[in-house]
C-alpha cells in the first residue's frame, strides 16, 4: 500500500533511471554472470532530498514498532541506516564485513530486548542482511523487521521476520554460455570499468 504523498514504484524506478541507479546494457556481475541491468543505489543517495523521501518509504511500515536501533550493513546500508533512524527517532549503527560474515565494531552493540530494524540498499540473495540478523539474534535483540530500497530477487528471499521493499524487481542473471546479450553481440561491460 502506498502512503499518500509517496512515489509509486514506477516513479521510484524513473528516479533511479534519472539519477543513474538503474543502468541498462550488458554487465558482467561480480559473480561472473551477465545481466541486462545493473543497480548502483549509491547514485540516488548522493541527493539528500531523494534519500530523505526514499528512507521515509522504508521507515513507514515500522513507525509504530518503537525501534531503538537501525542497522545497515556497510557500505550500502550506512547512509540509509542513518536517515531511517533519524526519521524513527532511533540510533543508527552498521555492521562491517568479516571473514565469518559480518560483525559489529566501533563500540556498536545491542542489548537484549532492544528493538532493531535492519535496512539495506539492495538485496539479491539476502546474505548480507542474514549476517546482520544473525548478529542481533545472538544478542537477543528484538528484530522488528527488514526494510530495503530494492529487492532484486523478485521476493524470493524470506528473512523470517516482517519484510518491506520500496521496489521489487526480478533481474535475471545468466552464465556466459547462456547469455542472450552475448548471442546478440551486445558489448560486455564490467561495472568496475564504469567506476562503480
Kindly state the cell numbers that stand for 101. 560474515
Q: Per mean pLDDT, which range of 46-50, 78-82, 129-133, 192-196 is the poorest?
A: 192-196
Domain enclosing residue 78, as ranges: 47-171
Helix (H, G, I), strand (E, B) or coil at 81: helix
How buried is residue 120: exposed, middle or buried, by Cβ count under 10 Å (0-12/13-18/19+)?
Answer: buried
Q: pTM to 2 decimals? A: 0.84
Has residue 36 been placed in a domain?
Answer: no
Q: What are the Cα distances from residue 170, in Å, to 48, 49, 68, 81, 155?
A: 27, 27, 32, 24, 8
In the predicted model, what is the mean pLDDT of residues 174-195? 86
Has residue 80 been placed in a domain?
Answer: yes
Has residue 115 been placed in a domain?
Answer: yes
State the pLDDT confidence band at 1, using cuts at 50, 70 and 90.
very low
Has residue 188 been placed in a domain?
Answer: no
Has residue 16 been placed in a domain?
Answer: no
Has residue 181 been placed in a domain?
Answer: no
Has residue 23 been placed in a domain?
Answer: no
Has residue 30 been placed in a domain?
Answer: no
Predicted local distance difference test score (pLDDT) of residue 173:
83
Provide the domain count of the chain.
1
Amino acid at each position: 500500500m502506498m502512503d499518500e504523498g509517496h512515489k509509486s514504484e514506477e516513479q521510484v524506478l524513473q528516479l533511479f533511471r534519472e539519477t543513474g541507479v538503474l543502468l541498462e546494457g550488458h554487465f558482467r556481475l561480480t559473480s561472473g554472470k551477465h545481466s541486462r541491468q545493473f543497480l548502483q543505489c549509491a547514485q540516488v543517495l548522493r541527493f539528500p532530498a531523494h534519500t530523505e523521501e526514499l528512507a521515509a518509504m522504508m521507515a513507514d511500515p515500522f513507525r509504530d514498532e518503537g525501534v531503538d536501533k537501525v542497522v545497515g550493513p556497510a557500505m550500502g546500508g550506512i547512509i540509509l541506516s542513518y536517515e531511517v533512524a533519524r526519521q524513527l527517532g532511533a540510533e543508527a549503527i552498521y555492521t562491517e564485513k568479516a571473514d565469518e560474515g559480518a560483525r559489529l565494531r566501533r563500540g556498536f552493540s545491542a542489548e537484549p530486548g532492544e528493538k532493531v530494524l535492519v535496512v539495506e540498499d539492495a538485496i539479491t540473495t539476502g546474505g548480507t542482511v542474514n549476517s546482520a540478523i544473525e548478529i542481533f539474534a545472538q544478542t537477543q535483540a528484538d528484530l522488528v523487521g527488514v526494510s530495503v530500497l530494492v529487492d532484486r530477487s523478485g521476493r524470493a528471499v524470506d528473512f523470517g521476520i516482517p519484510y518491506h521493499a520500496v521496489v521489487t524487481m526480478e533481474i535475471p542473471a545468466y552464465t556466459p554460455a547462456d547469455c542472450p546479450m552475448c548471442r546478440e553481440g551486445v558489448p560486455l561491460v564490467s561495472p568496475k570499468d564504469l567506476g562503480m
